[in-house]
Amino acid sequence: MDSLKTNNRDRLVSVAKAASGALPFIGSAVSELLDSVVPNLRFERVVSFLQTLDERVSKVDAELNSFKRNLNTEQGTDLLEEALVQSSRAVSEERRQRIASLTEKALTGDKLKYEEAKKILNLYRELTDPEVVWLIYYSLRPSLSHGPHTEWVEKHPDVLRPISREMSAPIEKRELAALQDSYKETLLRFGLTEMKGKSASLTTLGRMLVNYITDIDEQS
């Protein structure tokens, strides 16, 4: 049985490395890392992440050169390995896309901000998808007219819409309300949001995380 598991794992590694090697821009730089990352990665998710990362990096030649330069350092390799591990555990395509955004922005700068990017990666790893939805929600400015803030609520009504906390409400509603409260409390605990009166707003750290995982047009 152990031999069978090993063979399956080796086959998956070979498939993932072959797929990475076919990526026109970053494939050669990352394929050799796959052997040294956690052996039980879900490689189909990793390949999806790498394809998204490849597309993002390929848009600007200068970014591709910076990516290759930064990846050829211990710090850059460490950041990509962490991103690979996170992407292998990411169930949703949206989460893998956000990890790709974070990785691209971390590895394509003129100067590799290793400690900053590592902190942001570690913070993102600790957040559930609903907590990320709330984080982005706080980054959008409410307006009287229909805009990004309203559209974000409409896109994620199950997470963002107010839920009754009355004791007379059905137990299912109260459980959902408890979860919603926990999402907000997590953001406060990690220093990503702060309370100003009765309203929560992003901290500088929270804004940094949002900027890493989203594109400008997504949060404007």
What pLDDT is stored for residue 145 in this prediction? 61
Which domain range does residue 116 map to? Answer: 2-126
- Under a CB-based contact definition with an 8 Å cutoff, are residues 193 and 201 in contact? yes
- Under a CB-based contact definition with an 8 Å cutoff, are residues 117 and 106 in contact? yes
Q: What is the pTM of this model?
A: 0.79
Q: Compute the residue count for the chain.
A: 220
Q: Are residues 118 and 149 in the same domain?
A: no
Q: Are residues 141 and 97 in the same domain?
A: no
Beta bridge partners of 199: 196
Q: Are residues 99 and 156 in the same domain?
A: no
For the segment 24-82, what is each residue's pLDDT rounded down to a tens digit?
Answer: 887 776 776 665 554 455 777 888 899 999 999 988 888 899 999 999 999 999 999 99
164's CB contacts (< 8 A; 6+ apart) are 173, 174, 177
126, 146, 170 — which closes off a domain? 126
Q: Are residues 29 and 53 in the same domain?
A: yes
What pLDDT is stored for residue 212 in this prediction? 97
Name the pLDDT band for 14 (thresholds 50, 70, 90): low
What is the domain count for the chain? Answer: 2
Count CB neighbours of 21 within 10 A: 12
Query: What gap in Å lies between CA 134 and CA 105, rounded to an integer?
Result: 22
Q: Tell which residue, 179, 37, 44, 192, has the closest CA to residue 126.
A: 192
